[in-house]
Amino acid sequence: MRPLLPDILGAVGETPLVALERLGRGLPGRVAAKIEYANPGASVKDRPALRIIQDAEKAKTLKRGQTVIERTSGNMGTGLAIACAVKEYPLVVVMSTGNSLERVRMLRALGAKVVRIPQVDGKPGQVTSRDLQAVEKATIALQKKLGAFRADQFVNPSVIKSHYQGTGREIWEQTRGRVDLFVSVAGSAGTFMGAATYLKKRKPSIQAIAVEPAKAAILSGKVKNPGRHKLQGVGYAEIPALYDARYCDGYIQVTDREAADTARKLARREGIFCGFTSGANVAAALKLARKARRGALIVTVICDSGLKYLSTDLFPQRE
């Protein structure tokens, strides 16, 4: 049990690891999921958001009262909004209109100013690489205008550190070192790289498998020109700057339909309410569990809450 905390930032991390016994019933491998929506901002991005701010304060690259700015699909922005609320920094978040409305409303509720950039060629729920380029251009211009500190999750090494010292360590301790495979998408690549490097340092035989949208399998080189897909925050046109292929033992592709179907099954059969990307992670883990040696433990990540997807077609309204 946690002690009395001085503020909400102390609640970041130490999330539960849950066995998916119903979805994985009868499979040779066993699948467990790290429930990252147990963080205060309901996503895995709370960890790097807090670490970025802490490291910038320590390095004095973020000054008292300075505006923080970030390009985000929503989750990193939410993590930053929580940290900035407590530490009293103004926050500007720049995001595509293709990202879900729940994320926008949550950010504004937490005090962030949200600048939404019209899509170039995507559609709601499907942000393309050209959409992302438009968001990046706007972010650079605003950063210069405001003299803001940019969190820059796609290149900031604090992102990997947060998952190395947090997510990876926790998985190791929660499984008592019995984990055999780690499976996750690589959006900014922070979760994948941080957890993979920690786990492989403790046990070199652990395999780290990167999950990709089937229409945007850039890391594996199977797709050169990424198409539209529903996995928000992952699968754009370029390999993430934080990604190092030396720590990846293989790739697995998941379709939008597989991701959505698995997310719905997680809600109905495991009581785990999550989004498209979490569904993709679990769908990939279950595929690996079908081919794994008996008793192998496969760990993946539930990235965020299904509450952030209620305006999408993931959980259609029924009368």
Which residues does the annotation mark as catalytic?
45
CB 133 within 8 A of CB 147: no
* CA separation for the pair 211, 64 (Å, rounded): 39
Tokens of 208: 């780290």
* CA separation for the pair 207, 199 (Å, rounded): 9
In the chain the first and final C-alpha atoms are separated, in Å, by: 41
Separation in Å, CA 296 to CA 177, 201, 210, 264, 265? 12, 19, 18, 25, 22
CA angle 71, 75, 79 (to 5 degrees): 95
CB 71 within 8 A of CB 135: yes
